[in-house]
Amino acid sequence: MKNAHKSCWLKTSTMFLLTWYALTPALSLSSNSFGATSSELSTTNHNFSFSKDKLLQSDNEAMVLPGNSANNKFQLYFNGETAYTSEPTLINSWQETSLMVWINIADLSNGIQFIAGQNIFNLQLNADKSISAYANNQTITSNDILNNNQWYHIAATFNANTFNLYINGVLNASLINTSGSLDADTSYFILGKNQISDSQYFQGYMDELRVFNKALTSNELQKIIFQEIENNNGIVKGAVLPKDITDFNTETHISTPLSWNYLKRYYRMDSLNEIQLNDFSKELNTESATLHNVEILNQQTAPLPFVTNQSGSLENAINHPEHGIRGTDALAYNWSIVHIKHNDVYFSGSQAHLGLIIDEQNADLEPITFTVLDQAELNISWYLNLNGTIDLKDNSQLIQGEESTLNTSSLGEISTNKAISGDIYTYNYWSSPVGQTNNSTNNNTYKLPDVIKNINFLKSGYDGGTNAIADYWIWKCTNAYNSTNSIWQHIRSTGSIKAGEGFTMKGTTNDAAQNFKIKGKPNNGPIAIAIEAGNHYLVGNPYASTLDAKQFIIDNSSIGQNNGAITGTLYFKEHDSGSSHRSSAYDGGYATYSLAGGVPAAHKGNDNHAATSHDVTSETPGQYIPMSQAFFVVAETSGTIQFNNNQRAFHIEETHANDVAKTANFKIAAVEDERPKLRIGFNSVNQIHRQLLITEDPNASSGYDWGYDAKAIDSQIDDMYWLINDENYNIQSTNLIEESTKIPLGIHTQSEGENSISVDGFEYFPKDLNVYLHDKTLGVFHNLLDSNYTIHLAAGSYLDRFEITFTDSTTLSTDLYESTQIDMSFLNSENSIVIHNPSAIYIESVQMYNMLGQCVFKLQSQANKSNFSHNVENLHFGVYILKIKTNVGIFSKEILKSK
């Protein structure tokens, strides 16, 4: 019998398999503790003997393979009594190694059980169902206890630095290696029993055993756990996710391919030649292990990858306890691979996977939709193959990491909603996270009807309607056709928009917020837009997630090695339409963001925040830019505007009543930033409020700093700004805010009248510092933490009069001040200046200034009287500055002349 069938072979793509299923009608089927089915076949028991560390085989019969397997993927069952595999020495004096295998422990399994390895390096299952790894007399043991009838991936890595044990890719135990290379070893490489005796037999299934003579990094290991691997011209490649396996360095952003030469054994458990288990690490399976009493071969059930078997919540759709698969494992490990083959699969909450595959249709030819609920993150770190639909409900987001690719042949889409409260007059500044759908390219150009699915585009007139917008207001600001300047291009609903470009759009007449349904092929990976020096460009977040503005600025630096082109400042247009299409009715400006932080746009209406306020207005842009939000950049040099996956992040969008985003800009909840910040406000004679920001940052200086100092690109009729190299800035950074710090301010007004300067707010600001407005013309240091500084200014520009300081430089030392106090006041009943000089110090002169800086009274005292007064005629009511010059310093004080 054992010779009768050796000439009957079934040829597969990689091997010749002995088929007995069709030729032996009397062959018996077996059952075991895993509930074996009719697809599980057994042979009669083999007789083996063991003598003097030599494995001898006698009267062996061939392993039988199931003839009805659909995919020729199998797993071996070890009976816990006599079954094992063996081959001559494999690991011998290696400097480093990795050993890994999938195991599923049988119900009746008990005691210490050897899993795989040699004397010098091996894995074993302990009596308490923990896992131990052994190397050079060093042992590490897992904290986790394994369950029966459940698949686990077990791996140990060893090099000159560390000895690690992983369970399902999680580092479970580790030891600093002090023994150098592995010792010399001539023992057999064994699966399923003790090395030196017929004991400690493993009971359960094994699959996908791999041995590398390299200590894999966690990044390399996690990429190959939930899939089989292939040889791609000398590089290890995923069989499920068709990408080369690489070790990705998050600091250098460099990926190093994993060479196939490191793979020394690969037993897939589905390549057998009579009683030999073939090794897939070599061409033509030139290496193999001998099977001893291994009687059961099942179709593969290990999660290679996780596959849905029904509809419903994702963890339940994957859950398959009879196959040893726990659905929650697909959500517990960020490197899981999930294949969705059923419609109406959903998940409420954030999830992360190495790879996600979504089929176009289920077995009943129904289109497949996978739904993400509850403002959740769907994070795909490495590979997405999208042929169905991902529906991002409730402001959920799709994140793809820096290594993550979207299969260009994907013909599926993502769907998301944006509810915008607006009107037919107000511009919104948009971008799209999707492009036109095809099965050949990514980051595709689109027209608005390609991606906005529930809105009508009115081709005539200027007003939108119910569920309709006037396409007259669809514009984009880009390089001109000759690329020398930037222009507004009137694209309407028929013009093309590139991935990463922004566009304008007005609203509908709907009483409630308009819900825009956006659907198309998601953008992913690098996106580059050409820009010419000096040009403005309206760009936008091109991804189905929030965008990290800080990382975007760094990646687009025009200095250093990033080869970017922009100035390092982002501008967000904000305005009130005034219920008119006429631009002359618009009020507003540009909210600004840099690496130092954000400030809101100048706006109508003076907002006098209390000096102790920590509030930042809702229009203040933060570090994270919401999905579909557009903004302006300015080119410092000719080059490209660069978007990439490293800029993507998950942050929940801040919504308002009825989950509606604010009209012009979507908002993100504030992110904590512990750098000291001071916000100075200007409240003008024409009721315009401007806020400026100063931020302390160790990367900045007292001069101009690229990416931190934000130039003002709009100018109001009345305005205030920081002055750096005679240019106007809304945001300034400095390496240190202390008493000696001075920050020049510029102001201009169109009309004569009263203006005030205030502290709008501060964050993590030193409590021991005061904030002074220094009016150099009047010689006044006004503490803004006590009150606003209010001053009457004539129309014009004031570029060398004001500065922010943090100490009153006219203040005398404490000892001297206590001995030289001078008190000044104005006696309204007598129109007289009253001076109390208890120390009788020498007073050289007394001067009085109005708030225009004009001297209205001057007295050359040349005296040291302890008390005196002086009548001042023809004073109008208002605030004046009284200055007294003495031989020890200058004293100044605001006084009020009342009616």
Q: Which pLDDT tens digit goes with each residue over 440-462?
A: 999 999 999 999 999 999 999 99
Residue 502: name the closest of 628, 590, 630, 633 by CA. Answer: 630
pLDDT of residue 811: 53
pLDDT of residue 822: 74
Q: Is the pLDDT of residue 48 over 80?
A: no
User: Which architecture, in CATH terms, is 814-897?
Assistant: Sandwich (2.60)
Mind giving me the DSSP string for 3-71? Answer: TTTTT-EEE-SS-EEE--TTT-TTPPB---TTT--TT-B--PPPEEEEETTEEEEES--PPP--TT-SS
Higher local confidence (pLDDT), 469 or 587: 469
pTM assigned to the model: 0.84
Please give the structure tokens belonging to residue 511.
């009483």
What is the per-residue pLDDT across 290-323, written as a single tens digit (0 to 9) for each? Answer: 999 998 889 999 999 999 999 999 999 999 999 9
What is the per-residue pLDDT across 105-148, written as a single tens digit (0 to 9) for each? Answer: 999 899 999 999 999 999 999 999 999 999 998 999 999 999 99
Average pLDDT, integer, range 675-691 = 95
Q: Which of 195-209, 281-295, 859-873 has the lowest mean pLDDT?
A: 859-873
User: Which residues, in sequence order, are bridge partners of residue 572?
Assistant: 591
Q: How far apart are CA 296 and CA 523, in angstroms?
A: 48
Q: Are 497 and 448 in contact (CB under 8 A)?
A: yes
Q: How confident is the model at residue 880 (pLDDT cuts 50, 70, 90)?
A: confident
pLDDT of residue 449: 97
Average pLDDT, integer, range 598-615 = 62
Higher local confidence (pLDDT), 587 or 10: 587
Show Cβ contacts of residue 4 under 8 Å, excluding neighbours closer than 6 positions.
none
Residue 499: name the closest of 468, 473, 521, 518 by CA. Answer: 521
pLDDT of residue 615: 39
CATH fit for domain 75-243+258-299, picks 2.20.25.90, 2.60.120.200, 1.10.730.10, 3.20.20.60 = 2.60.120.200
Q: How far apart are CA 862 and CA 886, in angstroms?
A: 9
pLDDT of residue 820: 55
In the chain, which residues fall in CATH 2.60.40.3080? 814-897
Residue 885: name the closest of 855, 832, 847 by CA. Answer: 847
Torsion of CA 876, 879, 880, 886, to 10 degrees: 140
Phi–psi pair at 723, nearest 5 degrees: -110, 115
Q: How confident is the model at residue 601 (pLDDT cuts 50, 70, 90)?
A: very high
What is the per-residue pLDDT across 259-299, written as a single tens digit (0 to 9) for each? Answer: 999 999 999 998 887 789 999 998 766 788 999 999 888 99
Q: How confident is the model at residue 617 (pLDDT cuts 50, 70, 90)?
A: very low
In the chain, which residues fall in CATH 2.60.120.200? 75-243+258-299
Q: How far apart are CA 540 and CA 633, in angstroms?
A: 10
Distances (CA, A) of 189 to 55, 90, 211, 475: 11, 6, 11, 69
pLDDT of residue 846: 84
Q: 3-state class of 110 per DSSP?
A: coil
Q: How far apart are CA 585 and CA 601, in angstroms?
A: 17
Q: What does the DSSP 8-state code read for residue 645? A: G
Residue 629: name the closest of 498, 713, 538 by CA. Answer: 538
Q: How confident is the model at residue 654 (pLDDT cuts 50, 70, 90)?
A: low
Q: Is the pLDDT of residue 161 over 80?
A: yes
Q: Which of 38-47, 141-150, 231-240, 866-875 has the lowest mean pLDDT?
A: 38-47
Distances (CA, A) of 495 to 446, 447, 641: 8, 6, 21
Residue 652: name the closest of 396, 341, 295 by CA. Answer: 396
Average pLDDT, integer, range 505-533 = 92
What is the per-residue pLDDT across 826-852, written as a single tens digit (0 to 9) for each? Answer: 887 778 888 877 777 788 888 888 766
- The dihedral region occupied by 93, where left means phi > 0, alpha psi between -120 and 50, and beta the remainder, is left
What is the per-residue pLDDT across 619-635, written as a single tens digit (0 to 9) for each? Answer: 899 999 999 999 999 99
Rounded-to-5 percentages of helix, strand, coil across the chain = 5, 45, 50
Q: How confident is the model at residue 30 (pLDDT cuts 50, 70, 90)?
A: very low
pLDDT of residue 33: 30
Mind giving me the DSSP string for 502-555? Answer: -EEE-----SS-EEEEEEEEEP-S-EEEEE-TT-EEEEE--SSSEEEHHHHHHH
Q: Is the pLDDT of residue 210 over 80?
A: yes
Please give the structure tokens belonging to residue 596.
């130092």
Chain-wide mean pLDDT for the chain?
Answer: 85
Q: How confident is the model at residue 71 (pLDDT cuts 50, 70, 90)?
A: low
